[in-house]
Amino acid sequence: MKKYFLIFLILPSFHFSVFSQANEGMKLNIKKAEQAIKVDGILDEPDWKTAEVQGDFRLNFPVDTAQAEAQSEVMVTYDKEFLYVGAILHGQTPDEYVVTSLKRDFDFFQNDQFAIFIDPFLDRTNGFNFAISPEGVQREGLIFNGRRTNTDWDNRWFSKVTKQADRWVVEIAIPFKTLRYKSDNPVWNINFARINVHDNQWSTWAPVPQQFFPTSLNFAGTLAWDTAPPAPKANIAVIPYLSGGYTKDSENNTPSDVTGDVGFDAKIGISSGLTLDLTVNPDFSQVEVDQQVTNLDRFELFFPERRQFFLENQDLFAEFGSNRIRPFFSRRIGLNSPIIAGARLSGKVNNSLRVGVLNIQTKETTDEEEAINGQNFTIAAVQKQVFGQSNISFIFVNRQQFDVFRTQERSAFTGNNDDFNRVVGLDYNLRTRNNKLSGKIFYHQSISTENNTDNFAHGVQLRYNTRNLFVAWNHDIIGDNYNAETGFVPRTGTFRVQPFARYRFYPKKGKINRHGPGIRFEQLYSNGNDLTDRSIRGFYDFNFKNSSRLEFGASRQFVKLTSSFDPTNSDGRELAENSEHAWSSYNIGFTSDRRKLFNFQTNLSYGGFFNGERLNVNGNINYRIQPIASIGIRASFNQIDLPEGFNDRNFFLIGPRLDLTLTDKIFITTFVQYNDQIDNVNLNTRFQWRFKPVSDLFIVYTENYLPQNFASKNRALILKFTYWLNV
């Protein structure tokens, strides 16, 4: 391991200052408004007429070497309460607008929009994203890792859109107390983007190369204040909730149950960069159900977190390690026992330092079949920016048994000092100023009452991305006794290497935007240097200018089973431990023009599968009644043919979905999932009325059925009311 520690120490010392900032000359001056601004989408106030106007938007897609055909103009001003942004989006008629939904936080690349990216701390890593569609639908999010956006951040801001024959006009007011910034910074980083789905063009004010997303803060320009921006005011919000529900479990023949609950969340701006989030008796009944999959894997599957309290600022806690070595995975908390309360302090301490501390207490359960002790979870993260856009991050994860006893005699807290699990880790996240080179190196170690040898995890991820070439190198080592109980680590005792390369060609004429080959190789050993898995996959894809995509691929797979395994996961005859299997498979996939009201995606693969053969067909079909409805069907079919004596199985997974956005305040989603593998039909219907900004009424109905006769297994009806109160 000495060589890995050497790399870990040496690589951060290499300063990538040779890369210059691409858009240092892009500057937009902002001066204070002398009169009141009315947010009506007209831009007729005198301060708009004297504000500096910036235009000349450059294309980011489908090419990055020309001006946008549909041009845009932006201007900014401010007063003591708000940052105002005005924009005129030329070159579109109302019948050309593409707005797939009236629901807040719409899909970024499938809706016409005007977007703002703000980096007040000048770190080009973290920032804010505000966007609005021609129908006035809002989208906001937190930018992290320099380009990725988390739209689970909710806050109040104001906007208005007016539409004319050949343009649409946007007026936006963002409260300063919504943002986090240092008031002594006389300049901010800023960029503006226009997504024109009808013409399939993405454009930005400060140019962004095609191989990067418009959200990339590395290419932002400068917002120059005439004086220092106003000091941010305290931002305190309390969000109480009331809920009631009815449940019936017919499968276990238990009586119907009627429940009621109350609790609250709170958001408190501690400083210009830090926010304290509190939750007491949280309720997640309105959270959308997981999208089911057919499980033919040997190891645990990953399902994303959907609960709001864990989603905001989750990059501070959830981005450590890799997709198969996560020291912290919030879905481990509160799914088997209810959460009593939680607190999270997160945000910026200064321009180069971010911190996050999360503490959650769960309640013990006294179910006769399975008693679960109460647990306390503490997660602390520190992220220090170094060498330009890179950072060093530290994480500490602690799970400790900590019960709350409620009896007639006493109410007390007790802890078990011998029941704990801890992980400490260090990540170095590398990113150069021009975004070409990025990646990370990490080392984590678990701590428990036993097996504290060979209890580490280490990995390296490096990516080099230019206009034509993308190459990546991944490797990781997981010790036999690495135990991250509050994380996601489906397999331990392994050493894996995974190189990847892809090359892009950009034709100057024709219907193809880019095309090219790619190859991915993966080899995995047990820590005893025994090869257990190897795969190599080659592909060639075509990305068309109308947004459709075609891919051909072939792969070769080798597996040496580390334990006995039924390839169908259906309690059939198992393949023997240490048996070796190798097979080839081929696939073709196509995604149609996403701008069309009717669009689809499909993938067909066929080839070997362990000691047999497998045919897999999956895809989805969608139809929009723009912008009020979207009807979709997601389906998957697996046909597995094995030799005599083993199970042959056909698995169907079908999921029709209906999304109605009757107005920008009323949303209805109905999702049905038939899963042949688990012999279940699930119905989930959710009604949401956003009667005030970030204040909602939810009605959620869910039921599970036997597919043979549609007899009910269980059902639940939930009513939940939340209200956002600014203090």
pLDDT at 302 over 70: yes
CB 74 within 8 A of CB 89: no
Of the candidates 570, 565, 511, the residue with the CA atom closest to the CA atom of residue 543: 511
Q: How many CB atoms are closer than 10 A to CB 564? A: 12
pLDDT band of residue 404 (cuts 50, 70, 90) is low
Q: What's the pLDDT band for 184 if we cut at 50, 70, 90? A: confident
Q: What is the pLDDT of residue 368?
A: 53
Which residue type does 117 have?
F
Confidence of residue 172 (pLDDT cuts 50, 70, 90): very high
Local confidence band at 281 (pLDDT 50, 70, 90 cut-offs): very high
Residue 17: the pLDDT is 36
The amino acid sitting at 429 is N
Residue 3 reports pLDDT greater than 60: no
Cβ-proximal residues to 521 (8 Å cutoff; 6+ apart), any chain: 497, 498, 499, 500, 535, 536, 537
Residue type at 205? W
Whole-model pTM?
A: 0.85
SS3 labels along 561-617? CCCCECCCCCCCCCECCCCEEEEEEEEEEEECCCCCCEEEEEEEEEEEECCEEEEEE
For residue 109, pLDDT over 60 is answered with yes
Mean pLDDT of the region 472-479: 95
Residues 636-654 have pLDDT tens digits of 999 999 999 898 999 999 9
Residue 409: which pLDDT band, with cuts at 50, 70 and 90?
very low
CA distances from 203 to 107, 297, 546 (A): 17, 41, 16
Q: 59-63, 120-124, 192-196, 402-406 — which is least confidently predicted?
A: 402-406
pLDDT at res. 20? 39
What pLDDT does 5 receive? 42
The domain locations on the chain are 21-225
Q: φ, ψ for residue 504 (rounded to 5)? A: -115, 135
- pLDDT greater than 80 at residue 372: no
Residue 7 has pLDDT above 50, yes or no: no
As a CATH number, domain 21-225 is: 2.60.40.1190
- For residue 62, whether the previous peptide bond is cis, meaning omega lies within 30 degrees of 0, is yes
Which segment of 136-150, 543-557, 663-677 scores lowest on mean pLDDT?
A: 136-150
Res 495: pLDDT: 95
pLDDT at 316 over 90: no
Among 268, 313, 277, 278, smallest CA distance to 177 is for 268
Mean pLDDT of 109-113: 91
Count Cα atoms within 13 angstroms, Cβ side, for 518. 20
Q: How far apart are CA 200 and CA 548, in angstroms?
A: 11
> What is residue 412's predicted lDDT score, i.e. its pLDDT?
52
Q: How confident is the model at residue 318 (pLDDT cuts 50, 70, 90)?
A: confident
Is residue 6 predicted with pLDDT exceeding 50? no
Residue 415 has a pLDDT of 61
Q: How high is the pLDDT of residue 154?
A: 79
Which pLDDT value is given to residue 581?
Answer: 96
> What pLDDT score does 228 carry?
87
Angle at 628 between CA 627 and CA 633, to 5 degrees: 95
The listed range with the strongest mean pLDDT (443-452, 551-560, 685-694) is: 551-560
* pLDDT-derived band at 350, boundaries 50, 70, 90: confident
CA distances from 449 to 375, 420, 421 (A): 16, 7, 8
For the segment 10-45, what is each residue's pLDDT rounded down to a tens digit? Answer: 444 444 333 335 577 799 999 999 999 999 999 999
- For 62, half-sphere exposure in the C-beta direction (CA atoms, 13 angstrom radius) is 21
Residue 378's pLDDT band (boundaries 50, 70, 90)? very high
**What are 8's two structure tokens?**
């870990």
pLDDT above 70 covers a percentage of the chain that reads 94
Q: Give the Cα separation of 103 and 101 in Å (integer).
A: 5
Distance CA(725)–CA(687), nearest Å, equals: 22
Quick one: pLDDT at residue 4? 44
User: Encoding tokens for residue 140?
Assistant: 């906001």
Cβ-Cβ contacts under 8 Å for 170 (sequence gap 6 or more)? 41, 85, 86, 87, 88, 89, 114, 132, 159, 160, 161
pLDDT band for position 243 (cuts 50, 70, 90)? very high
